[in-house]
Structure 1
Amino acid sequence: MSVAQSLAEDINPVPKRARVEARLVLSFTDEDKVGTIQPHDDALVVMLKVRGYGVRRVMVDQGSGVEVMYPDLYEGLNLRPEDLTAYDSPLISFDGKVVIPKGQIRLPIQAGTEVVKVNFILVDAYSPYTAIVGRPWLHALRAVSLTLHLKVKYPVGDGIEELIGSQSRSQSMARQCLVVAILHQPRAGPSAPAEMGS
């Protein structure tokens, strides 16, 4: 190689191959609605593995800043009161009442092949759901949920996995839970009749 060629390469180096990076896209299409009953306003209710046990009637709620567990599930997982750590912040229940948590516990949740650990807050309140998972779980899983499609999608390695709550059976379960929650609401006592002025 001549000195001129060497200088030319130093001034105008041969471009190196651009590094191509594949990016996963978590998206939803009309095909994702196949198997759902449309239109609907059903909650996204799924089955997850918590501490290795299959747990049904878990509501995915993007509006929740905590994961909530109810006493039936806590006892069903063979957990004891001494397994709890303190949790001091009160929560607001579906019916607008302030609920004082019993404590919190960190447990693994498995969706498909992915396992993430989150803190569950144990509340002694009625719910037709066994648990509620919210933003902390979604963020730990790097997931996107969409209630219209009744699905949760999350990246795994070079692919995307789905957690589906979109079967008509699941929608039926979500509707049953809603009805039970409404029927469980305390009824207001009879109002006193208004007195008519003379």
Structure 2
Amino acid sequence: MPKNDEPDIVFLERDGRSIRQPYDDPLVIVLRVEEFNIHWMLIDNGSLANIIYSPAFQQMKLDKKRIKPFTSPLVSFTGDRIIPRGIVTLTVIAGTYPTQVTKNIDFLIVDYPSTNNIILGRPALNILRAAMSTYYLKVKFPIAYGVGEIKGDKF
């Protein structure tokens, strides 16, 4: 494929071969963030922010000097107002070699109970130029010569 052509991102029936229907599972994936494989990463195209929960950030043992101030409150699903600890830019690798992409993505650090480690919201999905399918439990994104993909974790 010529480098200037945009690949078509499509979901085909074969994308769902290993998924037993019916189900209503959330789209949860594993991604490489900095030097860590982060499990329990929720894809949420309804979220206006990318969030990393404090326990996950602390386990990564990154330099706290990387945290920049961020004082605008977030409103949770329950209506609670949450002030993030700050914002941090992390390197995210989506996909597996050779169909992968590396991007720097900003995450709000949040002290709030969650079963997830990270929420990838619309800002990250847009940076990755990603399309998601909850039906196929998959995320696809353009790479230099084709389309990369991430399969969701089935519970």
For normalisation by structure 1, the TM-score amounts to 0.70
* Aligned position for 2:105: 118
Take 2:75 and 2:18, find their aligned partners in 1: how far apart are those partners?
A: 34
Structure in which a larger fraction of residues adopt helix: 1
Shift of 1:94: 3.2
- State percent identity of aligned pairs: 32
SS of residue paired to 2:126: helix
SS of residue paired to 2:149: strand
Greater C-alpha Rg:
1
Shift of 1:97: 1.3
Shift of 1:37: 2.3
Shift of 1:22: 4.7
**Greater relative contact order: 1 or 2 (C-alpha under 8 angstroms, separation 6 or more)?**
2
Shift of 1:23: 4.1
* Aligned position for 1:54: 37
Shift of 1:51: 0.8
Take 2:40 and 2:137, find their aligned partners in 1: how far apart are those partners?
A: 14
Gap change, CA 1:23 and 1:81, over 3 Å in 2: closer
Which runs of 5 or more structure 2 residues have no equivalent in the other structure?
Answer: none
* Aligned position for 1:36: 19
What is the CA RMSD across the aligned residues, in angstroms? 1.5
Which runs of 5 or more structure 1 residues have no equivalent in the other structure?
Answer: 1-20, 173-198
- In the alignment, is residue 130 of structure 1 matched against residue 113 of structure 2? no
Structure in which a larger fraction of residues adopt strand: 2
Take 1:97 and 1:37, find their aligned partners in 2: how far apart are those partners?
A: 36
Shift of 1:80: 4.5
